[in-house]
Structure 1
Amino acid sequence: MEIGLYGLGRMGGNMARRLARGGARVLACNRSFEVTEQIAAEEVNVVACRSLDDMIAALKPPRVVWLMLPAGAATEAALAELAGKLAPGDMVVDGANGYYKEAQRRAADLAGKQLAFADVGVSGGIWGLANGYCLMAGGEAEAVARIEPFLKLLAPAPERGWLHAGPAGSGHFVKMIHNGIEYGMMQAFAEGFALMQAKGEFDLDLAAIAELWRHSSVVRSWLLDLTADFLKEDQGLDAILPFVADSGEGRWTALESIEQGVPTPVMTLALMNRFDSQGKADFGNKLLAMMRKGFGGHALKG
């Protein structure tokens, strides 16, 4: 059982390790060959490849090449390169946090070249190596069946933690909605703890409350576990800038809700709050201040 894995970042590198430890032979490739060599030195079943050409030559046909690259231009370029190098009957898996409509297009394009395709949403973060990954696969039944042995190695257990969600695009669609829900859950925790932190008269121990809620509370979750862990170390978070990035999946979820006409106020407002944290509300807030001054003579802060 062997697979090519292109992209050895925080997710891809640990996925290579988990696959190798599960008994798969992993032909690994990365933009930085030093990273590839390091993982190959750690794992007996990982083979370091300097280029996609080396990887393709080393894989026995019919090949399976799994991409764990940033969504967008990097993935698009790799797919275009692979489409010109792989042979009919080979397969490509896109494991990026990609847009599901792009996965649908790619599946059709590759089918025209007699290449199989699956889009797999991957959740688990940096903890996936130890705990396994949650995997949402989209594609034709035959294509997903080809990668089932690898899904079972990556998942927490062979019979749980992975799913053939539906046709091409559905894996990335389900992962997109998963991330939209994640935005909303994170925002609710952040707002709740901010309210408690601001209630100075009670002198609340946020770490103790987070730890309390982990046990039998209806809001217990992995996100709460992580929150409890870092609050034990630092309740003030004074060294942290209030800047929250967004990866793109929250935007796609909001756009999908508009296209379908299905209301998603919690997820959409959580996305808007991230934009606010990035300073994108600053100009609008300045205009608000100027309007208050204009109609009411209210003072401005310089």
Structure 2
Amino acid sequence: MQIGMIGLGRMGGNMVTRLLKKGHQVVAFDQSPEAVARAEAEGAAGAHTLEELVEKLTERPRAAWVMVPSGDPTSQTIRRLSELGEPGDIVIDGGNTNWRDALKDVEVLKAKGLHYLDAGTSGGIWGLKYGYCLMIGGPREAYERCEPVFQALAPEDGGLVHTGPEGSGHFVKMVHNGIEYALMQAYAEGFEIMKQSTAFPGMDMHAIAEAWRSGSVVRSWLLDLIADGLSKDPDLGSIEGYVEDTGEGRWTVAAAIDEAVPAPTITLALYERFRSRMDDTFADKMLAMMRNQFGGHAVKTTRP
């Protein structure tokens, strides 16, 4: 199958490589000429503008995969494709787009007779080797037209689901990432308890992680990554404990509130990420001050 790939960063570039290895034809576009050249060297047809990409997509209906940063870059790209494409063409949004924003992009394409598929994509930098888990929302006919590409990108043993109408793929991926926040936080807390143990000091965190990888109820790919990271830096001395969030956790918590669904674990995992970016906070100082005021408890004073 022929497909256009817009955005050749870590994810988009690796997806081009995987598709070419699986025998698909790829027209590759990126704002970086160097990225386009790398794709061409692997066998893709390069394009240096969206107009050129659309022109080089000769199969009908055309299919173009958008893999650029979510938000305005994605929406602007989709709007331009709606102007360049023809009725029946298919645009696939593979970024971490908020599902509410996706519904707005759907209307832009529908107004011109184009179809929208939202491809929630998980797998990160390892997807090239192991495949990407794909959560696809959109019309069944458009999904089936692009299914050969989805199957090529997905792992051989599964990892592909049609979730429902437009927007549902991003919604499912959002919840997926919220669960990811909670799982990561649980692992981090568990290893911290063992690391700080006064009853059993000096335990080998890497050895424990390696043991848990086999036969344990808590074995997982995340645990594999933990073991790999600890093998290289047992005390994580080269890393600062500052954890960013990219939005999906916030959106998951907001969705839980909208649906009146209790989600304390995911919510606290998100708050812990906020906490990781704060040091000696005003709130902590106020807590210490109140204890001192009502009970005379000692406080640590700042150095002059």
- Code of the aligned partner of 1:133: Y
Contact kept in structure 2, 1:293 and 1:300, CA below 8 Å: no
The SS at the match of 1:301 is coil
Q: Which runs of 5+ in 1 are unaligned?
A: none
| 1:182 counterpart (180, 183, 191) | 180
Aligned-CA RMSD value: 1.5
Asked if 1:34 corresponds to 2:34, the answer is yes
Residue-pair matches, total: 299
2: distance between equivalents of 1:131 and 1:55?
Answer: 28
Contact kept in structure 1, 2:92 and 2:116, CA below 8 Å: yes
Structure 1 counterpart of 2:80: 81
Structure 1 counterpart of 2:158: 160
Return the offset for 1:201.
4.7
1: distance between equivalents of 2:46 and 2:147?
Answer: 24
Contact kept in structure 1, 2:82 and 2:108, CA below 8 Å: no
Contact kept in structure 1, 2:94 and 2:119, CA below 8 Å: yes
Structure 2 counterpart of 1:268: 267
5 Å-filtered alignment, 1:1-302, equals 1-41=1-41, 43-44=42-43, 46-60=44-58, 61-157=60-156, 160-202=158-200, 203-279=202-278, 282-297=281-296, 298-302=298-302
Return the offset for 1:185.
0.4
1: distance between equivalents of 2:74 and 2:289?
Answer: 45
Contact kept in structure 1, 2:79 and 2:108, CA below 8 Å: no
Instruction: Provide TM-score, normalisation by structure 1.
Output: 0.95
Contact kept in structure 1, 2:61 and 2:90, CA below 8 Å: yes
Alignment deviations for residues 164-189 of structure 1 (CA, whole Å, 9 cap, x no partner):
11111110111111101100000000
2: distance between equivalents of 1:77 and 1:184?
Answer: 33
Tell which deviates more after alignment, 291-300 or 176-185.
291-300
Return the offset for 1:200.
4.6
Return the offset for 1:127.
0.5
2: distance between equivalents of 1:173 and 1:99?
Answer: 8
The percentage of counterpart residues that share the same residue type is 48
2: distance between equivalents of 1:13 and 1:215?
Answer: 33
Task: Flag the 1:236–1:5 CA change in 2: closer, same or farther, 3 A.
Answer: same
Q: Which runs of 5+ in 2 are unaligned?
A: none
